[in-house]
Protein backbone atom coordinates (compact mmCIF):
# COMPACT_ATOMS: atom_id res chain seq x y z
CA UNK A 1 0.00 0.00 0.00
CA UNK A 2 1.32 3.39 -0.99
CA UNK A 3 -0.38 6.26 0.77
CA UNK A 4 0.15 9.97 0.89
CA UNK A 5 -2.01 12.43 2.73
CA UNK A 6 -1.75 16.16 3.16
CA UNK A 7 0.40 16.80 6.18
CA UNK A 8 1.28 20.38 6.94
CA UNK A 9 3.56 21.46 9.72
CA UNK A 10 2.51 24.84 11.02
CA UNK A 11 6.09 26.12 11.21
CA UNK A 12 6.52 25.69 7.45
CA UNK A 13 3.54 27.89 6.69
CA UNK A 14 3.80 30.65 9.25
CA UNK A 15 6.46 33.23 9.96
CA UNK A 16 9.08 32.58 12.56
CA UNK A 17 8.83 35.82 14.44
CA UNK A 18 6.68 38.89 14.37
CA UNK A 19 9.20 40.96 12.48
CA UNK A 20 9.06 38.61 9.50
CA UNK A 21 6.69 39.26 6.64
CA UNK A 22 3.55 37.15 6.62
CA UNK A 23 3.83 34.17 4.30
CA UNK A 24 1.59 34.19 1.31
CA UNK A 25 0.61 31.13 -0.71
CA UNK A 26 -1.15 31.29 -4.02
CA UNK A 27 -3.32 28.96 -6.00
CA UNK A 28 -4.59 30.52 -9.20
CA UNK A 29 -7.25 27.90 -9.88
CA UNK A 30 -10.41 29.78 -10.93
CA UNK A 31 -12.57 27.19 -9.19
CA UNK A 32 -11.38 28.48 -5.83
CA UNK A 33 -12.90 31.84 -6.73
CA UNK A 34 -16.42 31.24 -7.98
CA UNK A 35 -18.51 34.11 -9.33
CA UNK A 36 -15.38 35.98 -10.25
CA UNK A 37 -17.10 38.11 -12.84
CA UNK A 38 -19.73 39.32 -10.39
CA UNK A 39 -17.02 40.05 -7.84
CA UNK A 40 -15.07 42.05 -10.37
CA UNK A 41 -18.16 43.98 -11.30
CA UNK A 42 -18.67 44.79 -7.62
CA UNK A 43 -15.06 45.91 -7.34
CA UNK A 44 -15.43 48.11 -10.41
CA UNK A 45 -18.50 49.66 -8.85
CA UNK A 46 -16.59 50.29 -5.63
CA UNK A 47 -13.68 51.76 -7.56
CA UNK A 48 -15.82 54.15 -9.51
CA UNK A 49 -17.59 55.26 -6.33
CA UNK A 50 -14.28 55.75 -4.54
CA UNK A 51 -13.17 57.96 -7.42
CA UNK A 52 -16.05 60.27 -6.67
CA UNK A 53 -15.31 60.18 -2.95
CA UNK A 54 -11.69 61.15 -3.49
CA UNK A 55 -12.36 63.73 -6.20
CA UNK A 56 -10.76 66.79 -4.63
CA UNK A 57 -9.05 68.45 -7.56
CA UNK A 58 -8.12 71.90 -6.25
CA UNK A 59 -4.55 71.84 -5.02
CA UNK A 60 -3.90 75.49 -4.32
CA UNK A 61 -4.00 79.02 -5.60
CA UNK A 62 -1.44 81.68 -6.47
CA UNK A 63 -2.55 85.07 -5.11
CA UNK A 64 -0.68 88.29 -5.82
CA UNK A 65 -1.88 89.79 -9.08
CA UNK A 66 -3.81 93.01 -8.74
CA UNK A 67 -5.89 92.55 -11.86
CA UNK A 68 -7.41 89.77 -13.96
CA UNK A 69 -4.76 87.32 -15.12
CA UNK A 70 -4.83 87.14 -18.91
CA UNK A 71 -1.95 84.92 -19.94
CA UNK A 72 0.37 82.25 -18.60
CA UNK A 73 3.41 80.39 -19.83
CA UNK A 74 5.19 77.29 -18.57
CA UNK A 75 8.93 76.95 -18.72
CA UNK A 76 10.21 74.18 -20.99
CA UNK A 77 13.16 73.58 -18.68
CA UNK A 78 11.74 73.87 -15.18
CA UNK A 79 8.73 72.18 -13.61
CA UNK A 80 8.63 74.68 -10.79
CA UNK A 81 8.41 77.89 -12.80
CA UNK A 82 5.27 79.51 -14.09
CA UNK A 83 4.99 82.95 -15.73
CA UNK A 84 1.78 84.94 -15.71
CA UNK A 85 0.73 88.35 -16.98
CA UNK A 86 -2.27 90.39 -15.89
CA UNK A 87 -4.49 93.15 -17.23
CA UNK A 88 -2.52 95.88 -15.44
CA UNK A 89 0.66 94.91 -17.31
CA UNK A 90 2.42 93.20 -14.41
CA UNK A 91 4.17 89.91 -15.05
CA UNK A 92 4.96 87.51 -12.25
CA UNK A 93 7.24 84.51 -12.10
CA UNK A 94 5.97 81.89 -9.67
CA UNK A 95 7.62 79.17 -7.67
CA UNK A 96 4.97 76.45 -8.08
CA UNK A 97 5.71 74.22 -5.04
CA UNK A 98 5.56 77.10 -2.56
CA UNK A 99 2.97 79.08 -4.56
CA UNK A 100 4.99 82.28 -3.99
CA UNK A 101 6.10 84.97 -6.40
CA UNK A 102 9.77 84.75 -7.34
CA UNK A 103 10.03 87.89 -9.47
CA UNK A 104 7.84 90.71 -10.61
CA UNK A 105 8.51 91.96 -14.12
CA UNK A 106 7.05 95.43 -14.48
CA UNK A 107 7.19 97.62 -17.54
CA UNK A 108 4.08 97.16 -19.64
CA UNK A 109 1.77 100.13 -19.63
CA UNK A 110 -1.30 98.26 -20.78
CA UNK A 111 -2.64 94.77 -20.36
CA UNK A 112 -0.19 91.93 -20.97
CA UNK A 113 -1.75 89.79 -23.64
CA UNK A 114 0.89 87.18 -24.23
CA UNK A 115 3.92 85.72 -22.46
CA UNK A 116 6.21 82.90 -23.50
CA UNK A 117 9.46 81.39 -22.28
CA UNK A 118 12.33 80.71 -24.65
CA UNK A 119 13.39 77.11 -25.30
CA UNK A 120 16.37 77.36 -22.90
CA UNK A 121 14.15 78.78 -20.16
CA UNK A 122 16.31 81.84 -19.67
CA UNK A 123 14.33 84.51 -21.50
CA UNK A 124 10.75 85.62 -21.11
CA UNK A 125 9.02 87.38 -24.00
CA UNK A 126 5.91 89.39 -23.35
CA UNK A 127 3.66 91.59 -25.43
CA UNK A 128 0.54 93.54 -24.80
CA UNK A 129 -1.86 96.36 -25.47
CA UNK A 130 0.88 99.00 -25.24
CA UNK A 131 2.20 97.78 -28.63
CA UNK A 132 5.54 96.73 -27.18
CA UNK A 133 7.36 93.43 -27.20
CA UNK A 134 9.53 93.08 -24.13
CA UNK A 135 12.34 90.68 -23.43
CA UNK A 136 13.28 89.82 -19.85
CA UNK A 137 16.26 87.90 -18.63
CA UNK A 138 15.75 85.78 -15.56
CA UNK A 139 18.73 85.99 -13.19
CA UNK A 140 19.70 82.68 -11.64
CA UNK A 141 19.78 83.88 -8.06
CA UNK A 142 18.81 81.95 -4.95
CA UNK A 143 15.50 83.15 -3.68
CA UNK A 144 16.09 82.34 -0.04
CA UNK A 145 13.46 80.98 2.28
CA UNK A 146 10.17 80.98 0.41
CA UNK A 147 8.11 80.68 3.57
CA UNK A 148 9.41 83.95 4.98
CA UNK A 149 6.49 86.40 4.86
CA UNK A 150 8.73 89.47 5.08
CA UNK A 151 10.72 88.34 2.05
CA UNK A 152 11.13 91.09 -0.54
CA UNK A 153 10.19 90.19 -4.08
CA UNK A 154 12.86 91.59 -6.40
CA UNK A 155 11.70 93.55 -9.40
CA UNK A 156 13.26 92.90 -12.75
CA UNK A 157 13.42 95.45 -15.52
CA UNK A 158 13.22 94.91 -19.22
CA UNK A 159 16.23 93.75 -21.21
CA UNK A 160 14.83 94.95 -24.51
CA UNK A 161 11.72 96.87 -25.58
CA UNK A 162 10.59 96.85 -29.18
CA UNK A 163 7.84 99.31 -29.98
CA UNK A 164 5.37 98.70 -32.80
CA UNK A 165 2.35 100.59 -34.14
CA UNK A 166 -0.43 98.22 -33.08
CA UNK A 167 -1.20 96.32 -29.92
CA UNK A 168 -0.36 92.63 -29.63
CA UNK A 169 -2.73 89.81 -28.72
CA UNK A 170 -0.47 86.80 -28.30
CA UNK A 171 3.07 85.52 -28.63
CA UNK A 172 4.64 82.09 -28.81
CA UNK A 173 8.27 80.97 -28.58
CA UNK A 174 9.72 78.61 -31.16
CA UNK A 175 10.23 75.03 -29.91
CA UNK A 176 13.77 74.73 -31.27
CA UNK A 177 15.16 78.04 -32.42
CA UNK A 178 15.82 81.37 -30.76
CA UNK A 179 12.71 82.85 -32.35
CA UNK A 180 9.19 83.79 -31.45
CA UNK A 181 6.01 84.81 -33.21
CA UNK A 182 3.57 87.53 -32.25
CA UNK A 183 -0.05 88.01 -33.21
CA UNK A 184 -1.77 91.33 -33.53
CA UNK A 185 -2.71 93.38 -36.56
CA UNK A 186 -0.33 91.08 -38.45
CA UNK A 187 1.55 87.91 -37.66
CA UNK A 188 5.24 88.62 -37.13
CA UNK A 189 8.17 86.31 -36.60
CA UNK A 190 11.01 87.69 -34.51
CA UNK A 191 14.51 86.70 -33.65
CA UNK A 192 15.32 87.30 -29.99
CA UNK A 193 18.52 89.10 -30.90
CA UNK A 194 17.05 91.59 -33.39
CA UNK A 195 14.72 94.49 -32.76
CA UNK A 196 12.80 94.06 -36.00
CA UNK A 197 10.52 91.27 -37.09
CA UNK A 198 12.08 88.86 -39.60
CA UNK A 199 8.80 88.02 -41.32
CA UNK A 200 5.45 89.69 -41.44
CA UNK A 201 2.41 87.84 -42.69
CA UNK A 202 -0.82 89.59 -43.59
CA UNK A 203 -4.06 88.11 -44.80
CA UNK A 204 -6.90 90.61 -44.79
CA UNK A 205 -7.19 93.44 -42.33
CA UNK A 206 -8.50 91.74 -39.23
CA UNK A 207 -6.66 91.19 -35.96
CA UNK A 208 -5.01 87.85 -35.32
CA UNK A 209 -5.81 86.54 -31.85
CA UNK A 210 -3.49 83.66 -31.32
CA UNK A 211 -0.40 82.10 -32.84
CA UNK A 212 1.26 78.75 -32.08
CA UNK A 213 4.37 77.07 -33.49
CA UNK A 214 4.16 73.48 -34.61
CA UNK A 215 6.27 71.42 -32.18
CA UNK A 216 7.66 69.10 -34.86
CA UNK A 217 7.58 70.83 -38.25
CA UNK A 218 9.81 73.69 -37.19
CA UNK A 219 8.79 76.12 -39.95
CA UNK A 220 5.07 75.81 -39.62
CA UNK A 221 2.77 77.68 -37.31
CA UNK A 222 -0.95 78.31 -37.04
CA UNK A 223 -3.06 81.26 -36.05
CA UNK A 224 -6.66 82.22 -35.55
CA UNK A 225 -8.20 85.65 -35.87
CA UNK A 226 -11.21 87.91 -35.64
CA UNK A 227 -12.09 87.24 -39.29
CA UNK A 228 -13.19 83.81 -37.97
CA UNK A 229 -10.24 82.19 -39.68
CA UNK A 230 -7.88 79.44 -38.65
CA UNK A 231 -4.76 79.80 -40.76
CA UNK A 232 -1.54 77.88 -41.38
CA UNK A 233 1.77 79.58 -42.17
CA UNK A 234 5.18 78.46 -43.35
CA UNK A 235 8.10 80.81 -42.63
CA UNK A 236 9.87 79.62 -45.77
CA UNK A 237 7.15 81.17 -47.89
CA UNK A 238 6.16 84.75 -48.47
CA UNK A 239 2.48 84.25 -47.94
CA UNK A 240 0.37 82.20 -45.53
CA UNK A 241 -0.39 78.62 -46.60
CA UNK A 242 -4.11 78.20 -46.24
CA UNK A 243 -6.98 79.02 -43.96
CA UNK A 244 -10.51 77.99 -43.16
CA UNK A 245 -13.28 80.39 -42.29
CA UNK A 246 -15.58 79.18 -39.56
CA UNK A 247 -19.00 80.41 -38.60
CA UNK A 248 -17.76 81.94 -35.37
CA UNK A 249 -14.48 83.32 -34.12
CA UNK A 250 -11.82 81.05 -32.65
CA UNK A 251 -10.07 82.47 -29.61
CA UNK A 252 -7.02 80.25 -29.08
CA UNK A 253 -5.42 77.19 -30.57
CA UNK A 254 -2.96 74.53 -29.51
CA UNK A 255 -1.05 71.77 -31.31
CA UNK A 256 -1.14 68.22 -30.07
CA UNK A 257 2.52 67.73 -29.05
CA UNK A 258 2.49 64.00 -29.79
CA UNK A 259 0.57 64.04 -33.05
CA UNK A 260 1.87 67.35 -34.33
CA UNK A 261 -0.30 67.39 -37.45
CA UNK A 262 -3.38 67.71 -35.23
CA UNK A 263 -4.43 70.86 -33.47
CA UNK A 264 -7.46 72.03 -31.55
CA UNK A 265 -9.07 75.46 -31.63
CA UNK A 266 -11.17 76.99 -28.88
CA UNK A 267 -14.21 78.61 -30.41
CA UNK A 268 -16.66 81.30 -29.43
CA UNK A 269 -19.61 78.97 -30.10
CA UNK A 270 -18.76 77.08 -26.84
CA UNK A 271 -17.15 74.17 -28.67
CA UNK A 272 -13.60 73.15 -29.42
CA UNK A 273 -12.70 71.78 -32.83
CA UNK A 274 -9.83 69.42 -33.53
CA UNK A 275 -8.38 69.58 -37.01
CA UNK A 276 -5.90 67.60 -39.00
CA UNK A 277 -3.75 70.20 -40.75
CA UNK A 278 -3.65 68.02 -43.87
CA UNK A 279 -7.41 67.88 -44.18
CA UNK A 280 -9.06 70.98 -42.91
CA UNK A 281 -12.43 70.70 -44.63
CA UNK A 282 -13.74 68.58 -41.77
CA UNK A 283 -12.94 68.64 -38.07
CA UNK A 284 -11.68 65.36 -36.64
CA UNK A 285 -13.65 65.92 -33.48
CA UNK A 286 -16.00 68.47 -31.95
CA UNK A 287 -15.55 68.79 -28.20
CA UNK A 288 -18.75 70.00 -26.54
CA UNK A 289 -19.90 70.74 -22.97
CA UNK A 290 -19.10 74.39 -22.28
CA UNK A 291 -21.95 76.86 -22.23
CA UNK A 292 -20.02 80.00 -23.09
CA UNK A 293 -17.02 81.10 -25.15
CA UNK A 294 -14.00 78.87 -24.74
CA UNK A 295 -11.12 81.17 -23.85
CA UNK A 296 -8.05 78.95 -23.92
CA UNK A 297 -6.81 75.46 -24.51
CA UNK A 298 -3.60 73.63 -23.72
CA UNK A 299 -2.54 70.05 -24.44
CA UNK A 300 -1.00 67.71 -21.93
CA UNK A 301 2.60 66.80 -22.86
CA UNK A 302 1.31 63.26 -23.42
CA UNK A 303 -1.04 64.50 -26.13
CA UNK A 304 -3.81 62.27 -24.78
CA UNK A 305 -5.83 65.00 -23.10
CA UNK A 306 -6.19 68.74 -23.02
CA UNK A 307 -7.56 71.37 -20.70
CA UNK A 308 -9.81 74.21 -21.76
CA UNK A 309 -11.16 77.17 -19.83
CA UNK A 310 -14.28 79.11 -20.57
CA UNK A 311 -16.04 82.38 -19.97
CA UNK A 312 -18.70 80.32 -18.13
CA UNK A 313 -16.31 80.13 -15.12
CA UNK A 314 -15.39 76.47 -15.50
CA UNK A 315 -12.45 74.55 -16.81
CA UNK A 316 -12.88 71.17 -18.41
CA UNK A 317 -10.54 68.33 -19.25
CA UNK A 318 -11.12 66.41 -22.47
CA UNK A 319 -9.64 63.29 -23.96
CA UNK A 320 -8.04 64.26 -27.25
CA UNK A 321 -10.65 62.28 -29.21
CA UNK A 322 -13.69 62.58 -26.96
CA UNK A 323 -16.76 64.60 -27.77
CA UNK A 324 -17.50 65.34 -24.14
CA UNK A 325 -15.34 66.36 -21.21
CA UNK A 326 -14.21 63.83 -18.67
CA UNK A 327 -14.14 66.30 -15.83
CA UNK A 328 -15.34 69.77 -14.97
CA UNK A 329 -13.70 71.98 -12.34
CA UNK A 330 -15.22 75.04 -10.78
CA UNK A 331 -15.29 76.90 -7.51
CA UNK A 332 -17.65 79.48 -6.14
CA UNK A 333 -15.02 82.17 -6.34
CA UNK A 334 -13.46 81.43 -9.70
CA UNK A 335 -14.54 84.02 -12.26
CA UNK A 336 -14.20 84.05 -16.05
CA UNK A 337 -11.26 81.87 -17.01
CA UNK A 338 -8.85 83.53 -19.43
CA UNK A 339 -6.03 81.07 -19.61
CA UNK A 340 -5.38 77.39 -18.87
CA UNK A 341 -2.14 75.41 -18.94
CA UNK A 342 -1.15 71.81 -18.37
CA UNK A 343 1.96 71.30 -16.26
CA UNK A 344 4.96 69.84 -18.07
CA UNK A 345 4.64 66.54 -16.18
CA UNK A 346 0.98 66.19 -17.12
CA UNK A 347 -0.17 65.88 -13.49
CA UNK A 348 -1.46 69.35 -12.81
CA UNK A 349 -3.52 71.96 -14.54
CA UNK A 350 -3.31 75.74 -14.05
CA UNK A 351 -6.13 78.16 -14.64
CA UNK A 352 -5.92 81.95 -14.63
CA UNK A 353 -9.12 83.89 -14.13
CA UNK A 354 -10.66 87.29 -13.78
CA UNK A 355 -10.62 87.10 -9.97
CA UNK A 356 -6.84 87.97 -9.94
CA UNK A 357 -6.00 84.38 -9.15
CA UNK A 358 -4.17 81.47 -10.65
CA UNK A 359 -5.38 78.07 -9.48
CA UNK A 360 -3.60 74.76 -9.55
CA UNK A 361 -5.72 71.62 -10.03
CA UNK A 362 -5.01 67.94 -10.32
CA UNK A 363 -5.35 66.71 -13.91
CA UNK A 364 -7.03 63.58 -12.56
CA UNK A 365 -9.45 64.72 -9.86
CA UNK A 366 -9.16 61.63 -7.68
CA UNK A 367 -5.47 60.86 -8.22
CA UNK A 368 -3.47 60.02 -5.14
CA UNK A 369 -0.59 62.45 -4.82
CA UNK A 370 2.81 61.77 -3.38
CA UNK A 371 5.03 58.74 -3.65
CA UNK A 372 3.05 55.55 -4.10
CA UNK A 373 4.15 52.17 -2.85
CA UNK A 374 4.24 49.34 -5.35
CA UNK A 375 1.08 47.87 -3.82
CA UNK A 376 -0.78 51.15 -4.10
CA UNK A 377 0.28 51.49 -7.71
CA UNK A 378 -0.88 47.98 -8.49
CA UNK A 379 -4.18 48.62 -6.80
CA UNK A 380 -4.75 51.78 -8.85
CA UNK A 381 -3.87 49.92 -12.03
CA UNK A 382 -6.21 47.08 -11.13
CA UNK A 383 -9.04 49.49 -10.40
CA UNK A 384 -8.40 51.38 -13.62
CA UNK A 385 -8.60 48.24 -15.71
CA UNK A 386 -11.76 47.11 -13.91
CA UNK A 387 -13.38 50.46 -14.58
CA UNK A 388 -12.39 50.22 -18.18
CA UNK A 389 -13.77 46.70 -18.46
CA UNK A 390 -17.19 47.54 -17.09
CA UNK A 391 -17.46 51.11 -18.32
CA UNK A 392 -20.45 50.25 -20.51
CA UNK A 393 -22.59 49.04 -17.63
CA UNK A 394 -25.38 51.54 -16.97
CA UNK A 395 -24.78 51.86 -13.23
CA UNK A 396 -21.05 52.39 -13.59
CA UNK A 397 -21.44 54.76 -16.49
CA UNK A 398 -23.96 56.82 -14.57
CA UNK A 399 -21.65 57.25 -11.59
CA UNK A 400 -18.54 57.87 -13.68
CA UNK A 401 -20.20 60.46 -15.89
CA UNK A 402 -21.76 62.41 -13.07
CA UNK A 403 -20.10 65.75 -12.39
CA UNK A 404 -21.46 68.43 -10.21
CA UNK A 405 -21.73 71.76 -12.02
CA UNK A 406 -23.10 75.08 -10.79
CA UNK A 407 -26.84 75.45 -11.13
CA UNK A 408 -26.58 78.17 -13.75
CA UNK A 409 -24.44 75.99 -15.97
CA UNK A 410 -26.69 73.00 -15.43
CA UNK A 411 -29.68 75.04 -16.55
CA UNK A 412 -27.84 76.55 -19.48
CA UNK A 413 -26.75 73.09 -20.61
CA UNK A 414 -30.31 71.88 -20.51
CA UNK A 415 -31.54 74.86 -22.43
CA UNK A 416 -28.82 74.45 -25.05
CA UNK A 417 -29.70 70.80 -25.38
CA UNK A 418 -33.33 71.66 -26.03
CA UNK A 419 -32.39 74.28 -28.60
CA UNK A 420 -29.93 72.06 -30.37
CA UNK A 421 -32.37 69.16 -30.47
CA UNK A 422 -35.02 71.40 -31.96
CA UNK A 423 -32.56 72.70 -34.53
CA UNK A 424 -31.49 69.21 -35.55
CA UNK A 425 -35.08 68.07 -35.71
CA UNK A 426 -36.00 70.97 -37.90
CA UNK A 427 -33.07 70.46 -40.21
CA UNK A 428 -33.89 66.79 -40.61
CA UNK A 429 -37.54 67.51 -41.29
CA UNK A 430 -36.65 70.11 -43.86
CA UNK A 431 -34.63 67.55 -45.70
CA UNK A 432 -37.31 64.89 -45.39
CA UNK A 433 -40.25 67.04 -46.42
CA UNK A 434 -38.68 69.18 -49.13
CA UNK A 435 -41.12 69.70 -51.98
CA UNK A 436 -40.49 67.38 -54.90
CA UNK A 437 -38.13 69.00 -57.34
CA UNK A 438 -36.95 71.62 -54.84
CA UNK A 439 -33.27 72.06 -54.24
CA UNK A 440 -32.22 69.38 -51.76
CA UNK A 441 -30.76 70.78 -48.58
CA UNK A 442 -28.03 68.58 -47.29
CA UNK A 443 -27.93 67.63 -43.64
CA UNK A 444 -24.43 68.56 -42.51
CA UNK A 445 -22.73 66.81 -39.63
CA UNK A 446 -21.50 68.93 -36.72
CA UNK A 447 -17.90 68.38 -37.73
CA UNK A 448 -18.53 70.11 -41.04
CA UNK A 449 -21.33 72.49 -40.23
CA UNK A 450 -19.26 75.31 -38.82
CA UNK A 451 -16.73 75.44 -41.64
CA UNK A 452 -17.84 78.03 -44.17
CA UNK A 453 -14.96 78.10 -46.60
CA UNK A 454 -11.45 76.91 -47.19
CA UNK A 455 -9.05 79.44 -48.69
CA UNK A 456 -5.68 78.52 -50.20
Nearer to other proteins by Cβ, of 13 and 374: the residue is 13
Closest approach of other proteins to the CB of residue 433, in Å: 24
Nearer to other proteins by Cβ, of 3 and 205: the residue is 3
User: CA geometry: angle at 207 spanning 202 and 212, to 5°?
Assistant: 75
Nearer to other proteins by Cβ, of 2 and 278: the residue is 2
Q: Name the one range near other proteins by CB under 8 A: 79-87, 283-291, 332-340, 387-395.
A: 387-395
Binding mask 271-310 for other proteins (x = CB under 8 A): ----------------------------------------
Instruction: Return d(Cα 212, Cα 23) in angstroms, integer.
Output: 58
Give the chain's length.
456
Instruction: Return d(Cα 343, Cα 74) in angstroms, integer.
Output: 7
Residue 9 in the binding site for other proteins (CB under 8 A): yes
Strand residues in 48-140 grouped as ranges (E): 58-63, 69-74, 81-86, 91-95, 100-105, 112-117, 123-128, 132-137
Nearer to other proteins by Cβ, of 1 and 66: the residue is 1
Closest approach of other proteins to the CB of residue 13, in Å: 5
Closest approach of other proteins to the CB of residue 324, in Å: 17
Closest approach of other proteins to the CB of residue 210, in Å: 32
Cα→Cα distances 456→17, 217, 237, 239, Å: 79, 19, 13, 10
Q: Which of 29, 20, 99, 95 is nearest to 62 (CA)?
A: 99
CA atoms within 13 A on the CB side of 88: 13
Instruction: Return d(Cα 89, Cα 105) in angstroms, integer.
Output: 9
Number of residues that bind other proteins (CB under 8 A): 39
Among 4, 278, 402, 407, binds other proteins (CB under 8 A): 4
Nearer to other proteins by Cβ, of 4 and 440: the residue is 4
Residue 17 in the binding site for other proteins (CB under 8 A): no
Nearer to other proteins by Cβ, of 14 and 200: the residue is 14
**DSSP string for 289-354:** --SS-EEEEEE-TTSSEEEEEETTS-EEEEETT-SB-SEEE--SS---EEEEEE-TTSSEEEEEET
Closest approach of other proteins to the CB of residue 387, in Å: 12
Residue 16 in the binding site for other proteins (CB under 8 A): no
Residue 373 in the binding site for other proteins (CB under 8 A): no
Nearer to other proteins by Cβ, of 194 and 378: the residue is 378
Strand residues in 238-288 grouped as ranges (E): 242-246, 250-255, 262-267, 272-276, 285-287
Closest approach of other proteins to the CB of residue 441, in Å: 30
Closest approach of other proteins to the CB of residue 22, in Å: 6
* Interacting residues of 59 by C-beta distance below 8 A, sequence separation 6+: 348, 360, 361, 362, 369
Q: Name the one range near other proteins by CB under 8 A: 18-26, 59-67, 252-260, 345-353.
A: 18-26
Closest approach of other proteins to the CB of residue 321, in Å: 10
Closest approach of other proteins to the CB of residue 305, in Å: 18
Closest approach of other proteins to the CB of residue 2, in Å: 4
Instruction: Return d(Cα 116, Cα 249) in angstroms, integer.
Output: 23
Nearer to other proteins by Cβ, of 12 and 193: the residue is 12
Nearer to other proteins by Cβ, of 29 and 193: the residue is 29
Closest approach of other proteins to the CB of residue 272, in Å: 22
**DSSP string for 388-443:** HHTTTSHHHHHHHH-----HHHHHHHHHHHHHHHHHHHHHHHHHHTPPTTSPPPP-
Contact 375, 360 (CB under 8 A): no
Residue 10 in the binding site for other proteins (CB under 8 A): yes
Residues 78-117 that bind other proteins (CB under 8 A): none
3 state SS of 46: helix
Residues 388-407 that bind other proteins (CB under 8 A): 390, 392-393
Closest approach of other proteins to the CB of residue 450, in Å: 26
Nearer to other proteins by Cβ, of 39 and 80: the residue is 39
Nearer to other proteins by Cβ, of 46 and 420: the residue is 46
Instruction: Return d(Cα 75, Cα 140) in angstroms, integer.
Output: 14
Residues 19-58 that bind other proteins (CB under 8 A): 22-44, 46
State phi, psi for 17 to the nearest 5 degrees.
-135, 170
Nearer to other proteins by Cβ, of 2 and 440: the residue is 2
CB crowding 87-111: b at 16 or more within 10 Å, else e:
bbbbbbbbbbeebbbbbebebbeeb
Q: Please give the residue ranges that form the binding site for other proteins (CB under 8 A).
A: 1-10, 13-14, 22-44, 46, 390, 392-393
Amino acid sequence: MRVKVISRVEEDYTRECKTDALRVHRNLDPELRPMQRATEYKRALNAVKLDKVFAKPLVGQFGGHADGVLCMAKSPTSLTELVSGDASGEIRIWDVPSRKTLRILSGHRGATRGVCVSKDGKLVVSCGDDATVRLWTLPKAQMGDMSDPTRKIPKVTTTAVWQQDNGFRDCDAHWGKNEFATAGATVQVWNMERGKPMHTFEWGVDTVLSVRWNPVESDIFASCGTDRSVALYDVRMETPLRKIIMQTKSTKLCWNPMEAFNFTVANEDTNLYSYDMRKMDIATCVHKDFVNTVMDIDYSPTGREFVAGSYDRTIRIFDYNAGHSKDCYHTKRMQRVFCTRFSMDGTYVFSASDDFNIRCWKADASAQLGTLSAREKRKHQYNASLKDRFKHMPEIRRIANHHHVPKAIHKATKLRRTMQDAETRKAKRRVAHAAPGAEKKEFKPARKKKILAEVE
